[in-house]
């Protein structure tokens, strides 16, 4: 983690939280598209259809379970600063409910093309959000933290482990959906499209966003110079 002045730390936290808000907006648009939620949010949303809590609360519950898994896997290697994942997971959970209210039912599109447009908007929001919170170089979100923990213990490359974890979470969501609801909810072709396309959109938005974030948070100094 790079060093920053106190004011730069404030900006890092604010930009991180802004990234979470953009991600939550992406989740809200994806939910209204009815074409499937992104892999990372698929299990919490399916859980919200099974038990009473709202999607935001289920996000907090599931994400906190990922943090607990990290602690069990890493034990003494788990860094106390990573407990901030709990704080940011809670903020993200509230954002999920808030953005769901903002988007509302009036933005539910008609026709398949309209739903694809909603999904495309969702992917752009998610890509911007991920770039923002990654570029400030603070703590990972719980699902990434879990992937990092398992990758570190098994020797599997992080990007490969991230794909594995994504697949496991989606399969768990599908199993829960069919077992409890006897139908598939929140996981559809859009889930796969989001998993494939988001990385490419991130590469596009990173070019203009990264220099701005670096200038605000680190004074524009390259990482290798820190």
Q: What is the pLDDT at residue 103?
A: 87
CB 217 within 8 A of CB 224: no
Residue ranges in the chain whose pLDDT is less than 50: 223-226
Contact 167, 87 (CB under 8 A): no
Confidence at residue 82, expressed as pLDDT on a 0 to 100 scale: 93
Tally of residues, the chain: 226
List the one residue out of 148, 117, 120 whose CA is nearest residue 134.
148
Q: How many CB atoms lie within 10 A of CB 71?
A: 14
Predicted confidence at residue 159, as pLDDT, reads 83
Q: Would you list the DSSP string of 12-59?
A: HHHHHHHHHHHHHHHHHHHHHHTS---HHHHHHHHHHHHSSS-HHHHH
Q: Can you give the pLDDT at residue 220?
A: 61
Among 116, 117, 131, CA closest to 23: 131
pLDDT of residue 17: 96
Return d(Cα 108, Cα 29) in angstroms, integer: 9
Q: What is the reported pLDDT for 2?
A: 67
pTM of the model: 0.88
Q: How far apart are CA 163 and CA 116, in angstroms?
A: 24
Residues 94 and 205: their CA atoms lie apart, in Å, by: 25
Q: How far apart are CA 100 and CA 140, in angstroms?
A: 24
Tell me how far CA of residue 187 lies from CA of 18, 95, 169, in angstroms.
26, 21, 11
Distances (CA, A) of 218 to 6, 21, 150: 11, 22, 30
189: exposed, middle or buried (C-beta count within 10 Å: 0-12, 13-18, 19+)?
exposed
Which pLDDT value is given to residue 106?
63
Number of other residues whose CB lies within 10 A of the CB of residue 110: 7
**CA-CA distance, 45 to 177, in Å (whole number)?**
10
Going by C-alpha positions, the residue among 8, 16, 81, 94 that lies closest to residue 55 is 94
| pLDDT for position 226 | 42
Q: Supply the pLDDT for residue 223.
A: 46
Instruction: Give residue-wise pLDDT tens across range 115-124.
Output: 999 999 999 9
């Amino acid at each position: 983690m790079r060093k920053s002045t106190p004011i730069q730390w404030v900006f890092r936290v604010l930009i991180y939280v802004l990234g979470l808000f953009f991600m939550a907006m992406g989740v809200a648009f994806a939910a209204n598209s009815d074409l499937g939620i992104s892999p990372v949010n698929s299990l919490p949303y399916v859980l919200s259809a099974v038990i009473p809590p709202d999607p935001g609360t289920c996000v907090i519950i599931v994400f906190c379970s990922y943090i607990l898994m990290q602690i069990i896997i890493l034990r003494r290697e788990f860094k106390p600063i990573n407990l901030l994942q709990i704080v940011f997971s809670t903020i993200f959970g509230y954002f999920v409910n808030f953005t769901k209210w903002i988007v509302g039912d009036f933005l539910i599109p008609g026709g398949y093309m309209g739903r694809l447009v909603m999904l495309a908007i969702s992917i752009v929001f998610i890509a911007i959000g991920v770039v923002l919170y990654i570029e400030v170089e603070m703590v990972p979100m719980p699902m990434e933290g879990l992937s990092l923990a398992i990758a570190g213990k098994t020797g599997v490359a992080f990007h490969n482990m991230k794909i594995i974890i994504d697949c496991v979470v989606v399969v768990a969501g599908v199993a829960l959906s069919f077992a409890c609801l006897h139908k598939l909810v929140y996981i559809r072709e859009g889930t796969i499209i989001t998993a494939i396309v988001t990385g490419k959109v991130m590469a596009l938005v990173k070019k203009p966003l990264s220099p701005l974030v670096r200038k605000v948070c680190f004074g524009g100094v390259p990482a290798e110079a820190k």
